[in-house]
Structure 1
Amino acid sequence: MTTQTALIVDDEPDIRDLLEITLTRMGITTYTAPDLASARELLQQHNPQLCLTDMNLPDGNGIDLVHWIQQHTPCTPVAVITAYGSMDTAIESLKAGAFDFVSKPVELPRLRELVNSALKLSEPQTGETAESDEPGLLLGDSPQIRKLRTQTKKLARSQAPVFISGESGSGKELVARMIHLQGPRSDGPFIAVNCGAIPSELMESEFFGHKKGSFTGAVENKQGLFRSADGGTLFLDEVADLPLAMQVKLLRAIQEKAVRPVGDTKEVPVDIRVLSATHKNLPELVQEGDFRQDLFYRINVIELAVPPLRERAEDIPLLAEHILQRIAREYECDPAKLTPAAIQRLQGYEFPGNVRELENILERAFTLCDEDLIDASDLHLGGGACLPARAATEPTLPDQTSEAQQPIAVPEGEIDLEYYLEGLERQAIEKALEATRWNKTAAAKRLGISFRALRYRLKKLGME
């Protein structure tokens, strides 16, 4: 087993001794340096797997050393020791490329967590490995997607909060998941939450948990999202939708690395990395007073922009093939292929809904195409093209002619439209199957849809 090594840089002998004892007890061979000059010499001589540096040094500061390491030994993760409450300094070190930071007085459990995470990054990443997409989430070979893969690989080696910007449907959650999977927290949980989907009155309980009996309906203890993500990554999607009151509490939880469950008097420490995203213009919301500047400053240590699909049209054939293969597996059908005309039509489309819209278009075309081949006409991308052309003249079953001529009776009061329409579709399919003695090919013909479309609907409605 290879001996793990670390460099400790601090001009205070007592601090150096404390850190050296702690790391030695963890089985790590340590080297110590009182200043920048000797630290650089030891880094070149021993190439340690981790560097811990104080911020204030006799011949410079810790950020100077972070910059030097980024240039000369970029595979060495470096953590900066900051003065208590120096959040601005900590953020500056993360922007410079530090792996993480720890505040004085150094809490040894927090230090051990940091060291263990950093040592998972000790394997050097160079050449093709550095540019690969190991989880296979970001598909494409365009310059934009290659750059994004390289950026995410680099950011995965840091613990800095990352703000992921991009249009709706562009794949922000995939980018967050890739950062998690390629980093030292990959063995821990990845918890994604849509901040706009949680009712404001339940937000504190959802994020921080609650104690049994703390409010009406709290019939048992609840862990909350922060503690569920302990040891892993918490992804806050649509973070711009958080109300101002919750923004204050979120900022405190992130800075203190601890949460207080509703109804509890004690704070519970949490070890998480926070990634966030929104399709909204967050700096504009800060200017308008709808988003706290201090929270924006804290979550936007590093910004990563996800390109829209229209800017990387050359990736569409590969993306489409991947999506069609997934749909075929999901609905247990043979995969369909795109004709050259269909590919050309997709590459000329603007995709306001980005990759999510591409998935919807292909899923619809998959159910309507004939002989496993999707042509341009199957895509229905023209004006008003979201509905299939054949939907304009919905077929009626011969034995239902009299019913079909009558308007459909819609229940009074509030209804769940999607559930109601699913019920009508289920009834039509059941009648067609009964009329054809459960011959699916004949039932599909009777319904005026392809056999593939019937298979798709049966799977979707759970009628197999």
Structure 2
Amino acid sequence: MKPIWIVDDDPSIRFVLEKALLREELPTRSFTHAGEVLQALEGAGEPGPQILISDIRMPGGSGLELLNKVREKRPGLPVIVMTAFSDLDSAVAAFQGGAFEYLPKPFDVPHAVELIRRAVQESQREQVAQERMEQAPEMLGQAPAMQDVFRAIGRLSQSNVTVLVTGESGTGKELVARALHRHSPRAEGPFVAINTAAIPKDLLESELFGHERGAFTGAQALRRGRFEQADGGTLFLDEIGDMPFDLQTRLLRVLSDGHFYRVGGHSPVKANVRVIAATHQDLEQRVREGAFREDLFHRLNVIRLRLPALRERRDDIPMLARHFLQQSAQQLGVEPKRISDAALARLSSFAFPGNVRQMENICHWLTVMAPAQLIEPKDLPPEVVGPAAEAGAAAEPPSAPARTGAGPDQLSAAVPVPSAESEGGPASSPQPWEGALEAQARELLAAGQPGVWEALTRRFESRLILTALALTRGRRIEAAHKLGIGRNTITRKIQELGLDDN
């Protein structure tokens, strides 16, 4: 085990800490001033310290100066600063500058030993995590669901077959597409990505297929489209479910025979391109609704890879959290923050509706906003520690509100909602279902049930959508029209509420 380095010009402080740590079977090495520590850090063959305990006021260099230099040389080394009460402001400054903790003088020896042992445990855990991070592949995942994805990528490594990647938003569909390209025979060719939902319909055709000079106002020169740019490589079509219907026909032709025409062009252009498509939508349902061509669906759906949601691979959350904290620290040029087991447990219980993308954003937020180097549960952003997050993570007792995947009977058991025949009553005249809703809300609030707003809102939305779908015989577009919401909204709500399982 690496030793604990103690630096203090007071021999009595060094003696007390050495003896106390020796009883705990923790090796030590002592120094009298900062210069000796820096010289030892630069010395050849030195194993380096497990943690560093430093006084603030010392001859030959202050503990704050030592802290800054140590952070440059050993950024992951936990540093505990010791200070008298009069130096408390300096200790706080050191704490904010990256110190693990500060120890006020005179200190209680058992308390000091407990603090040092906690720092040692943190150092060992972070060292193991860092070693794993250095060995980690570009796509992270140890959960069985992700291992299935990795195996599928391996099987497809020597294939040029078209692949459809499905999964919720933020699950990493483009990462999978890039991995499929990188491990394919086309790896030396270009990888070109386009989000079909992010480009206006009037421009999407030109983006995909290019245009000839003079094809339309503003087309002052010939422009190669994404298909031509990806020649010999891979074209990734993200959010393919949102592609306009007329362009689906053109895409089908390219997939069928490899030829297309630029906008305004008369000569066919040959494209040697492997297409990987991705969507968060249910394409089979889009086909049934008449919004997506069935023949194009079958052309794309040669091999389908489904990416699991982050809540389906909770074992990967600690690894991802450390990875993104390290990544965001590098981007911002700051010291990577550590995360406690309690904070990791809280993150692991969060539902992550935004999946891995949301996890990455949370880690960026923590890098900027967390006040200390060690992230505790109280430092997590509001969406993680708020009541709704607690409700999403808690195991539900029999009387708790129903959650995603509950059937119609469960959803309506506690909170009746208006039927189609009972609509239209004046707002000033409470309906029976409103009284039942109020009674249920009172009961849950009085019992201290967390996440009342989210739970009751889910039930209410579920019953509205199920009622509308019953009236329209399952036709979602018509149901959305009756409810006064968009087609994409009702599709998203059905997925979020788990109504596809009913």
- Residue-by-residue CA offset, 1:64-107 (whole Å, 9 max, x unaligned): xxxxxxxxxxxxxxxxxxxxxxxxxxxxxxxxxxxxxxxxxxxx
| Structure 2 counterpart of 1:364, one-letter code | W
Aligned 8 A contact 1:138 1:145 in 2: no
Please point out which of 380, 385, 392 is paired with 1:382. 385
Tell me how far apart the structure 2 counterparts of residues 263 and 285 of structure 1 sit (CA, whole Å): 30
Shift of 1:254: 1.4
Once superposed, what is the RMSD of the aligned Cα atoms? Answer: 1.6
Give the corresponding residue for 1:349: 350
Tell me how far apart the structure 1 counterparts of residues 196 and 136 of structure 2 sit (CA, whole Å): 26
Shift of 1:190: 0.8
Give the corresponding residue for 1:291: 292
Equivalence map 1:17-56=2 (5 Å): none
Tell me how far apart the structure 2 counterparts of residues 172 and 323 of structure 1 sit (CA, whole Å): 18
Give the corresponding residue for 1:273: 274
Give the corresponding residue for 2:373: 372
Shift of 1:383: 3.0
Shift of 1:279: 0.4
Shift of 1:215: 0.8
- Residue-by-residue CA offset, 1:174-220 (whole Å, 9 max, x unaligned): 11110000111111111111100111111211100011111101011
Change (3 A) 1:164 1:249: same
Greater CA drift, 174-183 or 135-144: 135-144
Give the corresponding residue for 1:311: 312
Aligned 8 A contact 1:135 1:181 in 2: no
Aligned to 1:370, the other structure's residue is in SS state: coil
Give the corresponding residue for 1:165: 166
Structure 1 stretches lacking a partner, 5+ long: 1-133, 387-464
| Structure 2 counterpart of 1:300, one-letter code | N
Shift of 1:371: 3.1
Aligned 8 A contact 1:165 1:277 in 2: yes
Aligned 8 A contact 1:362 1:379 in 2: no
- Residue-by-residue CA offset, 1:368-415 (whole Å, 9 max, x unaligned): 2233211111112133789xxxxxxxxxxxxxxxxxxxxxxxxxxxxx
**1:248 and 2:275 are equivalent in the alignment:** no
Give the corresponding residue for 1:178: 179
- Residue-by-residue CA offset, 1:88-127 (whole Å, 9 max, x unaligned): xxxxxxxxxxxxxxxxxxxxxxxxxxxxxxxxxxxxxxxx
| Structure 1 counterpart of 2:371, one-letter code | D
Tell me how far apart the structure 2 counterparts of residues 179 and 135 of structure 1 sit (CA, whole Å): 18
Aligned 8 A contact 1:209 1:224 in 2: yes
Aligned 8 A contact 2:169 2:354 in 1: yes
Shift of 1:316: 0.9
Shift of 1:163: 0.5
Give the corresponding residue for 1:363: 364
Shift of 1:155: 1.5
Aligned 8 A contact 2:286 2:292 in 1: yes
Tell me how far apart the structure 2 counterparts of residues 378 and 168 of structure 1 sit (CA, whole Å): 26
Aligned to 1:156, the other structure's residue is in SS state: coil
Change (3 A) 1:334 1:385: farther
**1:208 and 2:209 are equivalent in the alignment:** yes
Aligned 8 A contact 2:377 2:385 in 1: no
Aligned to 1:363, the other structure's residue is in SS state: helix
Shift of 1:261: 0.7
Tell me how far apart the structure 2 counterparts of residues 376 and 185 of structure 1 sit (CA, whole Å): 45
Give the corresponding residue for 2:139: 138
Aligned sequence identity (%) = 45
Aligned 8 A contact 1:226 1:259 in 2: no
- Residue-by-residue CA offset, 1:235-283 (whole Å, 9 max, x unaligned): 1100000111010011101111122111211111111100001101110
Shift of 1:145: 1.3
Tell me how far apart the structure 2 counterparts of residues 248 and 260 of structure 1 sit (CA, whole Å): 13
**1:302 and 2:290 are equivalent in the alignment:** no
Aligned to 1:197, the other structure's residue is in SS state: coil
Aligned 8 A contact 2:170 2:354 in 1: yes
Tell me how far apart the structure 2 counterparts of residues 159 and 384 of structure 1 sit (CA, whole Å): 48
Shift of 1:135: 9.6
Tell me how far apart the structure 2 counterparts of residues 174 and 384 of structure 1 sit (CA, whole Å): 33
Equivalence map 1:48-447=2 (5 Å): 136-380=137-381, 381-383=384-386
TM-score, normalization by structure 2: 0.49
Give the corresponding residue for 1:34: none
Tell me how far apart the structure 2 counterparts of residues 326 and 254 of structure 1 sit (CA, whole Å): 38
Aligned 8 A contact 2:153 2:180 in 1: yes
Shift of 1:367: 1.1
Aligned to 2:385, the other structure's residue is in SS state: coil
Structure 2 stretches lacking a partner, 5+ long: 1-134, 390-502
Aligned to 1:196, the other structure's residue is in SS state: coil
Aligned 8 A contact 1:166 1:278 in 2: yes
Tell me how far apart the structure 2 counterparts of residues 136 and 223 of structure 1 sit (CA, whole Å): 34
Aligned 8 A contact 1:211 1:261 in 2: yes
Tell me how far apart the structure 2 counterparts of residues 262 and 368 of structure 1 sit (CA, whole Å): 49
Larger radius of gyration: 2
| Structure 1 counterpart of 2:385, one-letter code | G
Shift of 1:147: 1.5
Tell me how far apart the structure 2 counterparts of residues 212 and 179 of structure 1 sit (CA, whole Å): 35
Aligned 8 A contact 2:235 2:275 in 1: yes
Tell me how far apart the structure 1 counterparts of residues 387 and 136 of structure 2 sit (CA, whole Å): 37
Tell me how far apart the structure 2 counterparts of residues 160 and 258 of structure 1 sit (CA, whole Å): 17
How many residues of Structure 1 are paired with residues of Structure 2 in the alignment? 253
Aligned to 2:194, the other structure's residue is in SS state: strand
Aligned 8 A contact 2:371 2:379 in 1: no
Tell me how far apart the structure 2 counterparts of residues 260 and 226 of structure 1 sit (CA, whole Å): 11
Tell me how far apart the structure 1 counterparts of residues 331 and 388 of structure 2 sit (CA, whole Å): 25
Aligned to 2:156, the other structure's residue is in SS state: helix
